[in-house]
Structure 1
Amino acid sequence: MALLRDVGTTLGRWTGRPVARVDEDGDDPDVPRVRAAAEAADWAGVRDILDARPESEDRTGLLWTVGEVAGVERWIAGVMAAEPDAALPRLVAAVRHISWGWEARTAARAAHVSREQFQVFHERLATAETWLYEVAEREPGWTSPWYGLQVTGRGLQVGQDVARRRFEATVRRDPHHLGAHRQQLQQVCEKWSGSHEEMHAFARASAFGAPGGTLLGQLVAVAHLEHWLALDSGPDARYIGQPQVIASLHEAADHSVRHRDFVRGRGWLQAHNAFAMAFALAGDLTAARAFFRATEGRVTEFPWCYLDGSDPARAYKEHRSRAGR
């Protein structure tokens, strides 16, 4: 598996460059607000922020912010009991159980996860699925429960056919839902019993099947990063440095974040980080420099965690330095 080489190399001073830092809020002022409300067990505050968002990609991101807050599983149970007919408390509880389940499993390879950890992981995901189906039945127009079922489905290994149906249910409600497409891209990766061919085909069909200026073009970059990650040292660099790979990265960037209709909104920073990493690894330093410049030193955990899971900003800085930015 390809990993960052010489990650401990001492870096020079970054005179004239923005200080690299991991960005957790993505230019959305409601992210820190909803996180603070969740940490304070302030259901009214959480509910008001979520209710103010349309049931789409925008609300999905905020839901996952709440779901990542430790302790939500305790106080949301009381809210569900007090509001037995309400869908939103069940949705929040389900999303928290998804994050809580992955916390139990950890990010370790399956061989290093104990039977007990897997049992807790599966139990929490199964509980989440029950609530997600209840929410989907009560609110058939909502996107988030189907997106949540994409995530639980991968963890519970429901199979490609079921996973595809859950993806299709999400995008029927929100055709350009980036999170849904990213989940399905992972589903068809070789490491999740798909294949490189299926992954690249899905990425291109999604990117170029969408209007110019959407964020879906980054799927092409992520697919190349996944392919690179699956290879050993040596073949990985030869793969991603191929002229046809670099050409496909430019084509995807031109159709998405470099398109005249592109407008910065939620998710733009991650797209720029993905293209910066892909172009840097591919050796197109001119293109990489432009994307590093656009990020202004703001690092998204994904995809830089593929290079350094403990310090994504360090991986970003090293490759920014190599690109001459």
Structure 2
Amino acid sequence: MTFFRRRSRDRSVPPAVDPACGNETLALMLRQAEAGDWPALCAGLAAVEDPSELTWLVAGVSNVAGTEEGLAKAVADRPDSALPLLLSGARQISWAWEARTRARSQHVSQEQWRVFGERLEVAEQQLFEVAEREPDWLAPWYFLQISGRGASLDKEAGRIRFEAALRRCPGHLDSHRQRLQQLCAKWGGSHQQMHAFARESMLAAPPGSPLGELVVLGHLERWLDLPSGADHSYLTSPDVLAELHEALGRSILHPDYVRPAGWQSAYNTFAMVFALVGEKWTARQLFEAIGPTVTESPWHYLSGDDPAKTFTALRERCAK
């Protein structure tokens, strides 16, 4: 029986982080963003009908460094269009996190916090304006979840923004991922809240929903909080292993699962966790399905500087 849909993989192609996840539309938009061709990029976004895909594309473009000034000009040139404003708001969030870095809060300087806050404030203003102009759009509410968490807004504000996103796109995986982060202990939540949300979301969704990944992400967050030795014991405990397999079976392994744009992210998450717990056969099938496309998350948990190197090492370990 074939459990995973495999891709033909040329082993001569080394694994690498691909910001476009092999998606030709996003790859084109990334090139357009780098070139500052905002009219062409916005025309492409305007043709996208699926709200989840549109949000995913904007999120990808938001990570292109150095586009802030070009986007500010694009907003000024097209004041009646919400798309340049959406792109600018999303970019302000990524730009804010570039200033803050991934360092623990105690290692972030006052100047970094100041710049972080200023950029998030611009993002909030722009995204709320987009939401007012285009009340049916998912995208501004997705990004407002991220900016709100960064700005340390109260829990009620986070819940309202998450629910606003789901009213526009029920079952939106990326919004659920953001909500999971909001409920993490490191953002003022708790392990209990995080695990309850992940499991309840998975079970409330139909089989084949991608929301099973939330259970895995929750266990990885808990694993990160534990000291060496205790972390491995936690992930390999019978109860956690059972939940990992249940999540796999209800999501990407289920016959009703449909791969969305950026599907490689969930596969990378499952591959990493099953490699970490030593279930080589399952991890190997996932690595085969992924091919050479590495996503930065969750591999940055193991190696922030070189996710592809960590991916390759674990893939080779599971191949033996």
TM superposition score normalised by structure 1 = 0.91
Corresponding position of 2:91? 96
2:28 aligned with 1:33? yes
Query: In 2, distance between residues paired with 1:19 and 1:78?
Result: 38
Query: In 2, are the aligned partners of 1:55 and 1:144 still within 8 Å (CA)?
Result: no
The 5 Å alignment of 1:215-254 reads 215-254=210-249
Q: 1:113 aligns with which of 105, 108, 122?
A: 108
What secondary structure sits across from 1:267 in the alignment? coil
The structural deviation recorded for 1:323 is: 1.9
Query: In 2, distance between residues paired with 1:55 and 1:126?
Result: 28
Paired-residue identity, %: 48
Query: In 1, are the aligned partners of 2:99 and 2:116 still within 8 Å (CA)?
Result: yes
Query: In 2, are the aligned partners of 1:215 and 1:267 still within 8 Å (CA)?
Result: no
Query: In 2, are the aligned partners of 1:41 and 1:75 still within 8 Å (CA)?
Result: yes
Query: In 2, distance between residues paired with 1:193 and 1:150?
Result: 15
- Segment of structure 1 superposing worse, 41-50 or 279-288: 279-288
Query: In 1, are the aligned partners of 2:275 and 2:283 still within 8 Å (CA)?
Result: yes
2:260 aligned with 1:265? yes
The structural deviation recorded for 1:16 is: 6.2
2:119 aligned with 1:124? yes
- Segment of structure 1 superposing worse, 146-155 or 204-213: 204-213
Q: Which amino acid aligns with 1:47?
A: C
Query: In 2, distance between residues paired with 1:299 and 1:110?
Result: 27
What secondary structure sits across from 1:79 in the alignment? helix
Corresponding position of 1:277? 272
Q: Structure 1 segments of 4 or more deviating over 4 A?
A: 15-18
Query: In 2, are the aligned partners of 1:146 and 1:167 still within 8 Å (CA)?
Result: yes
The structural deviation recorded for 1:17 is: 8.0
TM superposition score normalised by structure 2 = 0.93
Corresponding position of 2:63? 68
Deviations 1:83-107 (A, max 9, x none): 2232112111111111111111111
Q: Which amino acid aligns with 1:246?
A: L
Q: Which runs of 5+ in 2 are unaligned?
A: 1-9
Query: In 1, distance between residues paired with 2:64 and 2:292?
Result: 26
The 5 Å alignment of 1:293-308 reads 293-308=288-303
The structural deviation recorded for 1:269 is: 1.0
Q: Which amino acid aligns with 2:221?
A: E
The 5 Å alignment of 1:196-207 reads 196-207=191-202
The structural deviation recorded for 1:114 is: 0.9
Q: Which runs of 5+ in 1 are unaligned?
A: 1-14
Query: In 2, distance between residues paired with 1:145 and 1:89?
Result: 12
Computed over aligned residues only, the root mean square deviation of the Cα atoms, in angstroms, reads: 1.6
Query: In 2, are the aligned partners of 1:60 and 1:144 still within 8 Å (CA)?
Result: yes
Q: Which amino acid aligns with 1:193?
A: G
Q: Which amino acid aligns with 2:155?
A: Q
- Segment of structure 1 superposing worse, 91-100 or 208-217: 208-217
Corresponding position of 1:78? 73
